[in-house]
Structure 1
């Protein structure tokens, strides 16, 4: 069994699967790191004591098509060396689609973790919505996190025998990581001075990374964040994603009082900040799940979400890139009680269910 991942979200969500497969003792997991994110996610692997059996290099390209082609080739070469009985991919990244394509070309069955998420808009999020739909045409096992995801797969014609609702492994990872934080004060320590600097001001944690946000959207988002920092007595912390377009956010917010721009944080440091946050503003999908499980209100910087359960749980609110709506909904959230933590995305045992199904079938 070869588990393939290359971005931090994939690694976070597949570490519990690798741990459950190893604990089961029936299917021996090996790990292929595609290199899509060379360093992000390393702290998670180190904490879980997982070393890649295959460490690949990211193709030196910018174009998404060339990235996908390069990853498909390099992962295929790793499959030829490893000769696994099955391949596990997660979510909707270029690594996930490349891993599924490479396995398909070698007639190796594919297990898709976090299958069935759908926004209903092929280009939002882009290119992830298209990637996950393509993986669904190639996979043998579809591990759906929620009832809505399972229904989406069935409506697309996937056989019920190949779809299993298991919960989302991000909740497994969250339970594991919070336990590690409670036991080890040194994990994620880089977040401690950021939290301390806020003093008595409530922390608003913001992240922006979606490709579909062009310069106009980014300027509007920056306007909303700037207004929030000016109108409310909060400390806004923005770990800045390294993509070139985000320079707009640094330019517009870098000198704003009570806005602190920091470098990208490791998983454990980010969770420390989430724990300390009074409000989260983000375009991330995984953060919607984590915020819901932790009981943190969140403004989603998108017009739609493939995680409607977060809206139904009362944790998340869609605000798009509208600065006025962002400010109004932020003020509402800051004035309201904190939402109750919800198990709508899982109970922390998704990886056990995945490992049991794969062990039984293989």
Structure 2
């Protein structure tokens, strides 16, 4: 039996297409690690929830809570994890200690800077050291793993998030979609919000909108966004429709860089580095608070990329299902 672990909304979004592809073919058990509780409302199958015992350091709490779960792994022959959250690292470490096969989806992403993004860069590099099956979104990611001489089998499958987007029509409206949440931006979130608010005021021909992340380190600066429409987080399907029909995107997200590439949208990335280098300076463009005004001025006019999406064609889950069926210990 394969354990399938997830705890955040992005993890579930990228894992769900795989579950649809293996349903009735490969037995699995869902394990929820508890970060985004609201996603359980939309899951109509049994889920085992692991309780995170919160102490002073949240990251410590996640790892320590996942390491002593012997009954969770009873009967499991493999663990399927996606991405680079701390719960992915914790579950992989627990499986590694028990000699259980680890299957890592979205493997091979790198910045080689443990502080950008933090703690994701450490998490994914650590999981690569433990994983037995590496499911890479691009050939560049696979080449990285080969250069690192990781153990296990390496496959290029594309990114499963795109499987959710097939058939959605794309347009170019007046909306500028903004999302900001990353931990490494928390200490300068006020600076980001101040400059973004200024840009929104300077370009009244566009409707700037931000579904504001619930993290208190983000929420405490919402008063700085007087020129931007501030909304509560919205369901994924509605957010995707927004991306499909917007003019431009401003974000510090990783996954949105993949989705905007598929929709042929340009994306300003409010980060020092990105692990999605395949789309860099074609679909996605790095920014800091000092240069984002000039970058926005350039991209709002030249906003439609002509290249093909480098992250796949929306058929990744089918490829993954075939790979999983060929494994002996799933």
Q: What TM-score, normalized to structure 2?
A: 0.92
Distance 1:239 1:348 in 2: 26
- Secondary structure of the corresponding residue to residue 299 of structure 1: strand
Aligned length: 324
Alpha carbons of structure 1 residues 20 and 299: separation in structure 2 relative to 1, 3 Å: same
Distance 1:274 1:348 in 2: 16
Distance 1:100 1:139 in 2: 8
Distance 2:56 2:202 in 1: 39
User: Structure 2 regions of 5+ residues with no counterpart?
Assistant: none
Q: Write out aligned runs for 1:9-48 (5 A).
A: 9-22=10-23, 25=25, 27-39=26-38, 41-42=39-40, 45-46=42-43
Deviations 1:96-154 (A, max 9, x none): 11211121122110000000100121111000000001101111001111111111111
Residue 267 (structure 1) shift: 0.8
Alpha carbons of structure 1 residues 201 and 350: separation in structure 2 relative to 1, 3 Å: closer
Distance 1:66 1:5 in 2: 16
Distance 1:122 1:15 in 2: 29
- Root mean square deviation, CA, Å: 2.1
- 2:161 matches 1:170: yes
Q: Write out the 4+ residue segments of structure 1 that deviate beyond 6 Å after TM superposition.
A: none
User: Structure 1 regions of 5+ residues with no counterpart?
Assistant: 183-199
Equivalence for 2:46: 52
Distance 1:304 1:290 in 2: 18
Counting helix residues as a fraction of each chain, which structure ranks higher?
1
Deviations 1:56-98 (A, max 9, x none): 3343345111222113335x54223xx1221100010122112
Aligned equivalent of 2:287, options 319, 343, 350: 319
Q: What TM-score, normalized to structure 1?
A: 0.84
More divergent stretch after superposition (59-68 vs 328-337): 59-68
> Is 2:250–2:267's contact at 8 Å kept on the other side of the alignment?
yes
Equivalence for 2:207: 235
Equivalence for 1:185: none
Residue 349 (structure 1) shift: 1.7
Q: Write out aligned runs for 1:261-280 (5 A).
A: 261-280=230-249
Equivalence for 1:195: none
> Is 1:294–1:342's contact at 8 Å kept on the other side of the alignment?
no
Residue 219 (structure 1) shift: 2.0
Residue 42 (structure 1) shift: 4.2
Q: Write out aligned runs for 1:67-106 (5 A).
A: 67-74=62-69, 76-80=70-74, 83-106=75-98
